Structure 1
Amino acid sequence: MPARHRPRHVARRDPRAHWVLFALGLVVLLAGLAFDGYARGGGGGSGRPGVVTEAATPLGGPFLRADRGGLVSRSLPARTVALTFDDGPDPRWTPQVLDVLRRHGVPGTFFAVGSRVDAEPELARRIVAEGHDLGSHTFTHADLGAAATWRRRLELTLTRNAIAGATGGQAPLFRPPYSSRPGDVSADDLSALRDATAQGQTAVLADLDTNDWQRPGVDAIVRAGLPAGDAGTVLLLHDGGGDRSQTVAALDQLIPMLQGRGYRFTTVSAALGVPAPAASAGDRIRGTALRWFQGLGGVLSAVMTWLLVVALVLGVARLAFQAGCAWWHARRRRPSERGVWSPVSVIVPAYNEAANIRATVLSLVGGAHPSVEVIVVDDGSTDGTADIVARLGLPGVRVVRQRNAGKPAALNTGIAAARADLLVLVDGDTVFQPDTVHRLVQPFADPRVGAVSGNAKVANRSRWLGRWQHLEYVIGFNLDRRMYAVLRCMPTIPGAVGAFRRAALRDVGGVPGDTLAEDTDLTMALHRAGWEVAYAPRAVAWTEAPATLRQLWRQRYRWGYGTMQAMWKHRAALTERGRLGRRALPYLAVFQVLLPLTAPAVDVFAVYGLLFLPTAKLALGWLLLLTLQAATAAFALRLDGESLRPLWTLPFQQILYRQVMYLVVVQAAVTALLGTRLRWHRMTRTGAAAALGPEVSAGQPPR
């Protein structure tokens, strides 16, 4: 089947399985990040700051178990103290607390946050190995009184699994976060306690709360920890959740004082006669898997944070550098536009371009530059393209017919037939302004210049997709071209509007046909042959952009794949003396391949941020970045003499259009890695460029 610009190899079907793997990878990434964000959601302390709750029916003692008649409470016997510690294990403070307990020979009961057990499994094992109790304090230090039933069960189950995976034992003891004395339990807290004890756990509150989490001072903590009279006491302290230096110091004073008053120390399990049995194999396996997954989430979070920082820094630096180069390019002295009046041959390769070919040819004749011949190479069209041109009967316009052989072959046919030494190559869907040819060839006044890029603009911009492509052409492509022109490393002359010296084309063997981006391939070859490539921003050509998402995907897929082909083909430039390898190829590799490939992961991280990071800060950061992009876009539009009205669509372009462009790069990269040959995806023409004929002749931009 004939196809415009068809490569020599037969195309196989595009790879599909990679999209399943890609989607699965993003799901795993989001799941890992979400779990890491969930695990990091814990706080600390034994009170709800600024919240006053109504107490429920007072409970008799700090130990609560489920019974047929409801909750049954118990207390410690007289002159007995159970030291309990919440919010650990903490890599700094828990070892210091353990050292104090060991030095004084007393046991303790540690109510651990499950996510911190996963982060510090060695400390959890040390707690158990030294004879202390290890109980549950939920997985994320969640306020169970305010949580839904499913969240309560999830918190308790995850924590039991975490402790089982770390220590091999069960966790029959449980203390709800933000809890204190039995008389302060609210109705919501009581509901949570009933849920926990219904799962077979023993809830442990406190007789005395030292409020050490508020860091009131060592003396205040010691005073708060002294029981009244001979009462048995469950004492609430903390070994995690913040700076616990005062707790450690107070503990070193409090234990001898209590021992001096005749108090004995016990663990909660010993006092209640509920030792922790060994966990089942299933619980240990689930706990180990949970710890690994949490660790994976932490690694992913760290990697994505750095990736986001690098992407933002590179993106902002790119915008600033582009704008600076564009400003310099716009203000530097230009060669006189009266300098080059040599004859020009315009070559138009055409395959089934009936919708636009008449307007294209008419825009090329009768312009500001004298002595222009137009050669339309009909590449086996089946829609009467050649006949349309022939019927025009224009002087200086020739039609060359050939069997379908692809765009590079058509261009080379036209080059061979051309009479002039300055050649302008034009796509068959492009409309020139009257002065475009003349402005395009002016840089040839410098004999070092072998090729010139013109300024391609989107003709069909009345709909959203067209506006987004218009912004992309002006902000992305043309700002890049100005930057490349300043750095003298232009990697691509667009097929829609470019000019070449015949001598330069002869040096590189004509237009190459072994990649799908013959324009990039040719431009890179010219650089390696020692020719300069210039940019003529006032040489404007209007081209028809894809009108549907499917057509856009196919076009950009080919562009992305062809650009990667050209980069690989000219990779030797990296070791050669020249600006292509030192400037253009690294830039393309970073900003056209690597960053777009990582962009979907960065977007997943943004979803994670919406769920777990401060919304106000995230929104402010996004607005600042969007403002910077809008300012750059306004500058680029002004440079190109364009209206600022399309700027209002920029936020939507960033949210919707950008994702499609990134996915195209993913598809192209996978295709290239798998070695799949891609066929030329031809775009269906609608005649949008042809409709510009009268406006272009009058020098007006499209509406």
Structure 2
Amino acid sequence: MSRHRSNRQSVLRPRRLAAPPLRFFLPVTLLITLLVLLVLRGMANNEVFHDERIAISVDKTTVPRSVLDGGPVVDARGAHNDKPVSYTIPEKTVVLSFDDGPSPQWTPKILKVLQDHHIHADFFVTGAMTIRNPKLIRQVIADGNEIGVHTFTHADMALHSTTRLTWELGETQLALAGVAGVHSSLFRPPYSSTADALDDWSWPVTQDAGKDGYLVSFIDKDTDDWKRPGVDAIVGAAMPKWAGQGEMILLHDAGGNRSQTLAALPIIIEKLQAEGYQFKTIGEALGIRATTPVSGYDLWAGKVFLWCTTFSVRALPYLVVLLAVVGVLVFSRFGLMLLLSIMHVVRTRRRSFRWGDGTPVTEPATVIVPAYNEQECITNTLLSLAQSRHPIEVIVVDDGSTDDTAAIVEQLALPMVRLVRQPNSGKPAALNTGIAHASHDIIVMMDGDTVFEPSTVEELVQPFADPEVGAVAGNAKVGNRDTLIGAWQHIEYVMGFNLDRRMYDVLRCMPTIPGAVGAFRREALEQAGGMSDDTLAEDTDITMAMHRGGWRVVYAEKARAWTEAPGSMSQLWSQRYRWSYGTMQAMWKHRHAVLERGPAGRFGRVGLPFVALFMVVTPLLAPMIDISMLYGVIFVDAGKTLAAWFAVMALQGFCAWWSFRLDREKPWHLISLPLQQVVYRQLMYMVLLQSWITALTGGRLRWQKLRRTGEVGLPIQES
């Protein structure tokens, strides 16, 4: 009874949600960081959230008459929010205000004019320009001028929510704190003019800004200098309507060619001074403190924001160049694969093509099957070999299996099969044991979960008619392709592996003979020292060793083998992690081939760079394309960005269709190609990043046995 009660409690006990695997944390963090950097750079360049729309309204039913008839400075803060107060500029006083800056071209020149006349002004700056020109902000303040907030992106706030307004003001204050250690209580809405121009759309912006503690500064005189009407027109527009009237004048120090503004400014100052006017800032004119220093959290938050944004502005151009390099590499690879695959097909499929002297290879071959806990698959593997049209002996090396693998082999009692047992020592040791027991000079290696077609061995051994050939890579195909993961891997095997192998064959720098289907000349194996356990990619290791030994490695497209691909994302991760890490190990082991002569040097100077670029570097950087696409869709131009992305997808689709056509595969699996490209790219990025971390930290990855189901039956013919 107690046992049942315990079971009941375990069923009812709430489960804890599993935490995301640690291996996902760093890659996802880097991708998010890259997106954040793009956004920060876009904000600084006024690309993110950019909006040039202008609200148009004529109704003024909600604007208090005291505001419409009052001065240019509106106080809707705190106690004044329900009954706003307007302030006018005192008589014989002028406030010069400059919008949209600072500009590295025009602001320093305007500051020089102000210094020469010993006067101060107000500069209403945008957050984007503040981030890009921090020294100018500090110079504006150091010269005794005042800073006001003009939003971050110069968008018309009447068209946006209160949340957007709060964000625009807050980000600009962050920028000011980071750049100069100050906050400003002055705000001028973009596209605003005189107070009597306020309407039912723009008035709520003033109210909301007042709730946030801002004095909203409008103008008395708009010079329209941004229209470049001429120096005389700008000067005339700045003059008061009647003698002695105080006024706030609007000019611009950024946003275009301000040469007319610069020429008109000293004339305005001198004419008004001649009439007895004084020039003051808003704070000086109204007797308030508009700019206050910040410290503590606000100061450091601003500095962090400035550092991050500055870093993004300076670093992103290099990343853009890197992205362009990735794009060139990807397109170059596509073009090279298409061209060389055509050359390979033309060469191998013409009727006159023969290996060596043209004599068919009929001598028997030894097929080695390393097996560790392969009870689900070993029967189909051996029965497929029993149908071989080429004379073979089969050596099954049971590598200390703990299941019924060895018993099943013995029960089958196939005459050409020999079972060799050894303690668990790993796949390379099992293959070396098989080589030691082999009776023939041509040795075929396959995995214990793989199924051969009757013609596979026959096709695999024919290239050995050429005495220069030391090894042959077969055509590995996915047997369990009916699931989504299986379909993705089917596309990868046909397009990513076999199309690549045609290219590498033509270039004579084949980097890998697949463990599922490969053949070797015994002499070449012995010269290379057999299968090594120095890396986790013993197939890549031995292939590179053969190149360095002067042997030629070729591809036999008709030597097909059907293998069981991983059935889950976690198993796929384990497999690709081992492959990626093992490939890096093999590249490092054979790095000296770059300096060698002859065939070894050819592989070192052609094959190794290809492997490094297309199997390590490009997949590691490829997620930048997806992040840039996401950024472009959200912040730049969704139509053009998606059009470019679909153009790339169309090119990939064509390459995939071509590779399927070459392999005589039905193309309906390509329907999952777009999703495969997005998901696989992130998966390969994470796998490669983890492999890099493992390699750089000196970690040692252990062999990871994948769980098999035995789904792949006797030879499957889809072609």
Instruction: Name the TM-score, length of structure 1 as normaliser.
Output: 0.90
* Structure 2 counterparts to residues 279-678 of structure 1, below 5 A: 279-282=293-296, 283-333=298-348, 334-335=353-354, 339-369=360-390, 371-577=391-597, 578-600=601-623, 603-678=626-701
Structure 2: state its 5+ residue gaps: 1-19
Once the 2 structures are TM-superposed, how far is the Cα of residue 538 of structure 1 from its aligned partner?
Answer: 1.5
Equivalent residue in structure 1 for 2:73, among 49, 63, 73: 63
Pairwise CA distance, 1:116: 2.0
- Give 1:608 shift: 3.4
Counterpart amino acid of residue 304 in structure 1: L
The answer to whether the 8 Å contact 2:468/2:552 transfers is: yes
CA apart distance, 1:190: 1.7
Match of 2:146 in 1: 133
Partners of 2:482 and 2:332 lie apart in 1 by: 32
Q: Which amino acid aligns with 1:268?
A: I
Task: Give the letter for the 1:242 counterpart.
Answer: G
Indicate if the aligned counterparts of 2:384 and 2:451 stay in contact, CA closer than 8 A.
yes
Query: Is 1:119–1:291's contact at 8 Å kept on the other side of the alignment?
Result: no
**What is the rounded CA distance, in whole Å, between the counterparts of 2:291 and 2:566 in structure 1?**
68
Q: CA deviation at 1:30?
A: 3.5
2:202 aligns with 189
- Report the Cα distance in structure 1 between the residues aligned to 2:47 and 2:402, rounded to whole angstroms: 69
Output one character per residue of 1:484-518: Cα deviation in whole Å (capped at 9) or x when no partner: 11111111100111111011011011111222111
Q: Which residue of 2 aligns with 1:167?
A: 180
Q: CA RMSD in A?
A: 2.7
State the 1:253 CA deviation: 4.5
Of 465-474 and 562-571, more deviation after overlay is shown by 562-571
Distance of aligned partners of 1:215 and 1:537 in 2 relative to their CA distance in 1, 3 Å threshold:
farther
Moved more, 306-315 or 34-43: 34-43
Match of 1:119 in 2: 132
Of structures 1 and 2, the one scoring higher in RCO (CA 8 A, sep 6+) is 1
Amino acid at match of 2:360: G
Residue identity opposite 2:46 in structure 1 = G
Counterpart position of 1:12: none
Deviation of 1:212 (Å) = 2.8
Aligned to 1:31: 36
Counterpart CA distance in 2 for 1:80 and 1:74 is 13
Note the alpha carbon deviations across 1:2-55, whole angstroms, 9 max, x for none.
xxxxxxxxxxxxx97665455444444433433333343379999955744544
Alignment match of 2:281 (pick from 267, 288, 298) = 267
- Alignment CA distance shift 1:43-1:251 (3 Å): farther
Alpha-carbon distance in 2 for matches of 1:203, 1:628: 54
- Residue-by-residue CA offset, 1:293-325 (whole Å, 9 max, x unaligned): 221232343343223222212111111112111
Moved more, 536-545 or 580-589: 580-589
Indicate the residue corresponding to 1:6 in structure 2: none
CA drift at 1:601? 5.3
Take 1:51 and 1:478, find their aligned partners in 2: how far apart are those partners? 62
Q: Which amino acid is the alignment partner of residue 291 of structure 1? A: L
Greater mean alpha carbon deviation, residues 431-440 or residues 136-145: 136-145
CA distance in 2, matches of 1:645, 1:109: 67
Q: Is the 8 A contact 2:516 2:561 kept in 1?
A: yes
Q: Take 1:256 and 1:425, find their aligned partners in 2: how far apart are those partners?
A: 94
- Which of these residues, 66, 69, 87, is aligned with residue 74 of structure 1? 87
* 1:592-627 deviation digits (Å, cap 9, x = unpaired): 222333345554444433432221221111111111
Secondary structure of 1:450 counterpart:
strand
Flag the 1:161–1:542 CA change in 2: closer, same or farther, 3 A.
Answer: closer
Label 1:640 to 1:54 Cα distance change in 2 as closer, same or farther (>3 A): farther
Do 1:368 and 1:434's aligned partners in 2 also have CA atoms closer than 8 Å?
yes
* Partner deviation per Cα, 1:616-663 (whole Å, 9 max, x = no partner): 221111111111111111111111111111121111101223222221
422-431 or 38-47, which deviates more: 38-47
Equivalent pair of 1:44/1:141 in contact (CA under 8 Å): no
Q: Deviation at 1:440?
A: 1.1
- Show the counterpart of 2:9: none
**How many residue pairs were aligned?**
681
Matched, 1:247 2:261: yes
Contact kept in structure 2, 1:46 and 1:178, CA below 8 Å: no
Contact 2:184 2:292 in 1 (8 A): no
Shift of 1:252: 4.6
What corresponds to 1:3 in structure 2? none
Unpaired runs of at least 5, structure 1: 1-14
Give distance in 1, aligned partners of 2:707 and 2:289.
Answer: 76
CA distance in 1, matches of 2:639, 2:258: 31
**Matching of residues 164-243 of structure 1 within 5 Å:** 164-230=177-243, 231-243=245-257
Counterpart residue type for residue 644 of structure 1: P
Q: Judge conservation of contact 1:457–1:542 (CA < 8 Å) in 2.
A: yes
Distance 1:24 1:460, change over 3 A: closer
CA distance in 1, matches of 2:177, 2:448: 71
Q: 1:92 to 1:482 in 2, by over 3 A?
A: same
The answer (yes or no) to whether the contact 2:619–2:681 under 8 Å persists in 1 is no
Tell me how far 1:266 sits from its aligned partner.
Answer: 2.9
Q: SS at the partner of 1:187?
A: coil
**CA displacement at 1:472 relative to structure 2:** 0.4
Call closer, same or farther: CA 1:219–1:474 in 2, change over 3 Å.
farther
Distance 1:403 1:168, change over 3 A: closer
User: How far did residue 167 of structure 1 move?
Assistant: 3.4
Kindly report which structure 2 residues correspond to 1:88-167, keeping only aligned pairs within 5 A, or say none.
Answer: 88-167=101-180
Residue 366 of structure 2 aligns with an amino acid whose one-letter code is S
Moved more, 113-122 or 260-269: 260-269
CA distance in 2, matches of 1:530, 1:302: 44
One-letter amino acid of the structure 2 residue matched with residue 158 of structure 1: E
Q: Deviations over 1:384-435 (max 9, x none)?
A: 3333333334333322233322221221122122221111111111111222
Would the alpha carbon gap of residues 382 and 125 (structure 1) be closer, same or farther in structure 2, given more than 3 Å must change?
closer
Partner of 2:14: none
* Residue number in structure 2 paired with 1:10: none
Corresponding residue SS for 1:521: helix
Distance 2:215 2:704 in 1: 68
Per the alignment, residue 83 of structure 1 pairs with 96
- Would the aligned equivalents of 1:45 and 1:241 in 2 still touch at CA under 8 Å? no
558 and 407 in structure 1: CA distance in 2 versus 1, 3 angstrom threshold: same
How far did 1:217 drift? 4.5
Are 2:470 and 2:551, in contact at CA under 8 Å, matched by a contact in 1? yes
CA change 1:489–1:472 in 2 (3 A) is same
Counterpart residue identity of residue 414, structure 1:
G
2:707 aligned to 678, 684, 701, which one? 684
| One-letter code aligned to 1:621 | A
- Aligned-partner Cα distance in 1 for 2:413–2:50: 89
Conserved? CA contact 1:46–1:211, under 8 Å = no
